[in-house]
Amino acid sequence: MLEPGVDLDRCRLKRVKFKPGRKLTASYEVGFAGSRRGVRAATVTWTVAPAAQAMPEGEGAAQAMEQEARDRNLVAPFSHLREEVAGGHVRVQVTPLDPAFAHLVRLADPNHVETLLADVAGRSGDGSLPTVRTIRFNPGQRHVLRYQVPAPSGRGTRTLFAKLERTTRGGEEAGAAATGAPAVAGVLAGHSRLAAATPLARVADDRVVLYELVRGHPLTRLLAVDAPLAGSALGEAGKLLAVVHAADLSAAAALPSRDHRAEVAATRRACEHIVGMLPHLSATITGVLARVGDRLDEPSAEEAGLAHGDFKADHLLVTPERTTLIDFDSCACAEPASDLGKFLADLRIRFFLWDKPGLPQVQQRFLDGYGPADPGRLARARLWEALLLVKLAARRVRVDDVDWATRTSMLVGEADRLARGVTRAP
């Protein structure tokens, strides 16, 4: 697929997704020998049915998109951006080609980005074009781009991130971000040490949401290296979440509703590859989902309200002065226990994968920051923790990990232990 005279350097595996009986997808960061062209993102998909049958956008859309990329000089050092082999059962796609996101090509074009930023970000033309880099390239699912432009002062650079809305889905995720981020920012406005990263702009014509770079260290990194700031940041994370959960119910009025039934179904889908490759875990997974689902079916004394929907350490950026919450794609009207359970599960799986001691103390530091809560909320949070630990085991333990089977089995067993150990609130 490369132009004559261009050779591959490294192909670094970034992500693997396996759906037994259907497909295997591997995402790579591709480099070029002796080239200053940087790196490109590519995916390889092996399918049981010929790949063309799984492309609802059609062959014509792919051809038109590739021609647009060629017209915008975005194909080189490749001669073309898509290749099918083995009778169509193997497909290679290179950014910026994805017919499910027909606007990806123009949003990867520095000339178009220059015009876009002039309209919405106060970018004045000075003869230099923005630098565009792919952060996430998941064809048919999600794309994130990074734009770097000279700062208005002429010193340093300004960094923006672009999250694309899917052409064929009506932009539900970006809509939740555009609604949820201001809602969360509003309830945090009176707290000098807490903040939410609101979108800079949502551009309907380009089906994209733009964000400014937020300064700070991800809480994940602080926890991994035992940074002194990590302990206080855990307390701040708990306090931030408590403020969000204390918001007036009207703050969630425009957001989609989500409950545990949807999460149980999503977890079951996420575990398909575990059941396919480790069938002896099928009964345990089914048992956890049934037990947690039945318990969460019991009436809760609390109303659903404003929830972040994906509250985890990666989404908290920390400085000595402030903790900032990011990524509002999953904002919803949901029960508070779901956010608590997600963060507890996130901490649990990270400490397991890092093989680090001290999980009980770290979780308690977070809960202390959250403050007094109804015992029923905390009991339900532990049920959510068990449910989401299964989902995270499916999502975060990569199938190309040599210890995948062992780690997955241990995490599923831990989720089963948690689900069985949660007692009913008095």
In sequence order, which ranges of 121-217 are alpha helices (DSSP H)?
172-188
> 54 or 33: whose pLDDT is higher?
33
Cα 416 from Cα 425, distance rounded (Å): 19
Cα 225 from Cα 37, distance rounded (Å): 33
Cα 426 from Cα 418, distance rounded (Å): 18
Contacts (Cβ under 8 Å, ≥6 apart) of 189:
none
Do 228 and 376 sit in the same domain of this protein?
yes
Other beta carbons within 10 Å of 27? 20
> 167 or 46: whose pLDDT is higher?
46
> What pLDDT sits at residue 395?
96
Do 109 and 221 sit in the same domain of this protein?
no
Domain count, the chain: 3
Residue 48 has pLDDT above 70, yes or no: yes
- Name the range with the highest mean pLDDT among 33-47, 56-70, 224-238: 224-238
Nearest of 196, 238, 229 to residue 214 by alpha carbon: 196
> What pLDDT sits at residue 293?
96
Q: What is the pLDDT of residues 71-106, one digit of tens each?
A: 999 999 999 999 999 888 999 999 999 999 999 999
Mean pLDDT computed over 195-220: 92
- Residue 294 structural domain: 216-421
Do 278 and 370 sit in the same domain of this protein?
yes
Other beta carbons within 10 Å of 215? 12
What torsion do the CA atoms of 359, 364, 367, 372 make, to the nearest 10 degrees?
160
* Residue spans of beta strands (DSSP E) within 331-395: 332-334
Do 71 and 109 sit in the same domain of this protein?
no
Query: Is residue 269 within 8 Å of residue 403, measured between CB atoms?
Result: no
> 128 or 172: whose pLDDT is higher?
128
Report residue 211 as tokens. 């964000």
Q: What is the pLDDT of residues 345-383, one digit of tens each?
A: 999 999 999 999 999 999 999 999 999 999 999 999 999
Cα 279 from Cα 264, distance rounded (Å): 19
Q: Which of 213, 232, 267 is the last residue of a domain?
A: 213
CA 310 to chain centre: 8
Query: Is residue 374 within 8 Å of residue 242, measured between CB atoms?
Result: no
Residue type, 157: T
Residue 164 has pLDDT above 90, yes or no: yes
Residue 169 has pLDDT above 80, yes or no: no
Q: Which of 157, 187, 213 is the last residue of a domain?
A: 213
Do 289 and 398 sit in the same domain of this protein?
yes
> What pLDDT sits at residue 170?
43
Do 249 and 339 sit in the same domain of this protein?
yes
Q: What is the pTM of this model?
A: 0.91
> What pLDDT sits at residue 425?
59
Cα 89 from Cα 83, distance rounded (Å): 11
Do 329 and 395 sit in the same domain of this protein?
yes
Specify the CATH number for the domain of residue 112: 3.30.200
